[in-house]
Amino acid sequence: MRKIAIVMSVYLNDSLDHVQEAIDSLFSQNDVEFDILIQEDGQVSNEIHKYLNNLFKMKKIQFLGLREKNLGLAYSLNELINYALKKDYEYIARMDADDISLPNRLKLQFDFMNKNKDIDVVGTNIVEFGNELNYHKKVHFPITHEEMLIFFKKRVPIAHVSSFFRNTFFMKTGLYRTSGHLNNEDTFLWMDGFLSGCKFANIDDYGVKVRISNDFFDRRGGAKKIVSDFMNRLEVNRALKFGYLSTFYSFGFVIMNLLPARLKKIAYLHLRK
């Protein structure tokens, strides 16, 4: 059985510098072997396509999927996960095309999963950064399965970008939902995981530096996004029987996302762990 597959989706708005930095951070991982699987989700820049194709020719990328039409992150991840499952990888790890994996990330998660055979998915703490925004935030997550389920009443219990799955997770839960959930593919994956009896954990260490773009706080104020997030949270609350307190938290996030970008940035810095 092959060990670790890293799955990454790349699309038109990604920058070559960021993609290179993300992949370089994988090449710099300590003491762990893995394969990189990448899907081009629609047309990408010529520079990125050439860079990825060269890596593929050099066998530094095990699989490079090409698709002319952009279908979104969930669709791309499903294609990559299906490939990994067919190739019998034991572990599947997420990586975004503009983030940076810290050198010990995969080693920490691989060792943890080998020691905890009952765990289906493990994440890490993250460091959010935005050089142009003068933004830097360390974000912590609960550690145990029970703590994570309680935490899910407020917000997602695992950083999607840091997730490291045992293949059993997808065998129990299925893949990402691809319709009706605007930019909330991870929220519903975690919901389906809990409903399917998957076991969750986080490692109390930092695994990924998450890049915050210039328009991050503006995008979260869009009416369509706010309504979608709220309705999706209500669906999660009902499915997991979280009760009225969770709905109260959902209203709180609506109010926060209605704030001007400047105030929203302050809220993200001071109201999140």
- Specify the DSSP element, H or E, that contains 109: helix 105-115
226-239 per-position pLDDT tens digit: 777 777 888 888 99
8 A C-beta contact, residue 249 and residue 256: no
> What are the mean pLDDT values of the chain's consecutive 10-residue runs (273 residues total)?
92 96 97 96 96 97 95 95 97 97 98 98 95 81 97 94 98 90 82 98 98 64 67 86 75 60 57 57
> In one letter, which amino acid is 30?
N
State pLDDT tens for residues 1-12. 679 999 999 999
Helix (H, G, I), strand (E, B) or coil at 12: coil
Q: Where are the domains of the chain?
A: 2-214, 215-273
pLDDT at residue 248 in the model:
64
The per-residue pLDDT for range 167-214, each reduced to its tens digit, is 999 999 999 998 765 568 899 999 999 999 999 999 999 999 999 876
Token pair 């991840």 in the structure block, residue: 77
Question: Under CATH, which number does the domain 2-214 receive?
Answer: 3.90.550.10
